[in-house]
Amino acid sequence: MNWIEVSIYTTTNGIEMINGALINLGINDAIIEDPSVFQDFLHNDTLNWDYYDEDLAKLQDIESCIKVYVAENSQGQQQLKKINNIIENIKNDKIDLNLGRLDIELRVLNDEDWANNWKQYFKPFIVSNKIIIKPTWEDYKESIEGKIVLEIDPGMSFGTGQHHTTRLCIEQIVKHLKESMDVLDMGCGSGILSIASILLGANSCVGVDIDENAIRIAKENAALNNIYEEKFRVLCGDITVDEDLQDAIGENKFDMIAVNIIAQIIMGMSWTFPKFLKKGGLVIASGIIKEYLQDIIDNFEGLGFEVLEINESEEWVSVTAIKK
């Protein structure tokens, strides 16, 4: 079977917004190509330049792009119509944010091309001067003292850690996580936040995602890092409507919730946060465009949280709040 590669050209600021809109329509898998990845690498003073890969230089010349793949059949054509509607709606919203040209280009791929095409730009990189995120297909032979290597195969699901929002979230986890904490990862995707938490010393982590494919990939990525079910449990379902899922997660069990989605989805599920957190537990929320920051603050304060930190990267913010 052939596949259609759908490339949506935008800016760094538009990537998370478009991905969130795709997720809302049930299109969960995406690839990110963004020149900021190269710039982050280029300006990282802590990195050992013996590790430099010339392929990374290609990134400085590319246009920011989010790609998804749909089957070349009737179901894929329906998905393609939805994608076009998403982009038209974003254009019509006239958001005060540079989102680029928002053009869509299509390319037909065979099975083998589809399986390997998305891997070419994902190289090892450092987050928070603490964690080296390395794809499984890349060799990494350097030994950097004091850093943790997190190995991952995103399996075409969003969550390699390269985007500003994921970095913001990991930076806050690094800052606030203490050994013996139990962490809940809401919308776990490829499992990167859960795995990072456990590698940093968390007692255990529960990941939750609405996408069954993400559940499988998160488990596989955990195993790559020698993390198994006794430390990392992954559950599938919609947290806002599935009471059995809420029961399986458990009340007042977690010291920290990490959630990296978009503001609207965060607010839609936020009423569950006090239920799952212990008193004094933290929420680290990312994926938030600056224009929705006050909405998130008002939402959290209305639920009894106190905002401790607000951190920014480009047009994105993360909010760290404590359950009073």
Q: What is the model's pLDDT at position 118?
A: 56
49 band by pLDDT with thresholds 50, 70 and 90: very low
Overall average pLDDT of the 268-293 stretch: 94
Q: What pLDDT does residue 201 have? A: 93
Q: Name residues whose C-beta falls within 8 Å of residue 269's C-beta, 6 or more positions apart in sequence.
A: 186, 239, 240, 259
CA–CA separation, 316 and 313 (whole Å): 5
**What is the pLDDT averaged over residues 52-59?**
49
Task: Return the pLDDT at 42.
Answer: 47
* Position with higher pLDDT, 43 vs 197: 197
Q: What is the pLDDT of residue 47?
A: 39
Which has more confidence, 109 or 85?
85
Q: Which CATH architecture has domain 164-323?
A: 3-Layer(aba) Sandwich (3.40)
Alpha-carbon torsion, ordered 292, 296, 299, 301, to 10 deg: -130
**Is the pLDDT reported for residue 137 higher than 50?**
yes
What pLDDT is recorded for position 1?
Answer: 64
Residues with Cβ < 8 Å from 213, sequence gap 6 or more? 28, 29, 155, 157
Is the pLDDT higher at 140 or at 157?
A: 140
For residues 265 and 45, the model is more confident at 265
Identify the pLDDT of residue 144. Answer: 63
pLDDT at 61: 65
Report the 10 Å Cβ neighbour count for 94.
7
Radius of gyration for the chain, computed over Cα atoms and rounded to the nearest angstrom: 19
Place of tokens 């802590």: 46
| Res 153 pLDDT > 80 | no
Q: Is the pLDDT of residue 14 over 80?
A: yes
Output the CA–CA distances (angstroms, integers) from residue 154 to 19, 31, 62, 148, in the order listed: 15, 9, 21, 18
**pLDDT mean across residues, the chain:** 82
For the question of whether the overall pTM of this predicted structure is more than 0.75, the answer is no
pLDDT at 51: 38
More confident residue, 44 or 237: 237
The pLDDT value recorded for residue 113 is 65
Assess whether pLDDT exceeds 60 at residue 175: yes
Is pLDDT of 102 > 80?
yes
Q: What is the mean pLDDT of residues 240-255?
A: 95
3-state secondary structure of 189: coil
Beta strands across the sheet bearing 103-109: 31-33, 65-71, 3-9, 103-109
Quote the pLDDT of residue 216.
Answer: 86
Q: Dihedral of CA 96/128/123/138: which sign?
A: negative
Residue 303 has what DSSP assignment? Answer: T
* Average pLDDT value for residue range 203-223: 89
The predicted pLDDT at position 171 comes to: 93
Enclosing H/E stretch for 255: strand 254-260
Cβ count within 10 A of residue 17 = 24
Lowest mean pLDDT among 214-218, 269-273, 281-285: 214-218
Q: Choose between 119 and 254: higher pLDDT.
A: 254
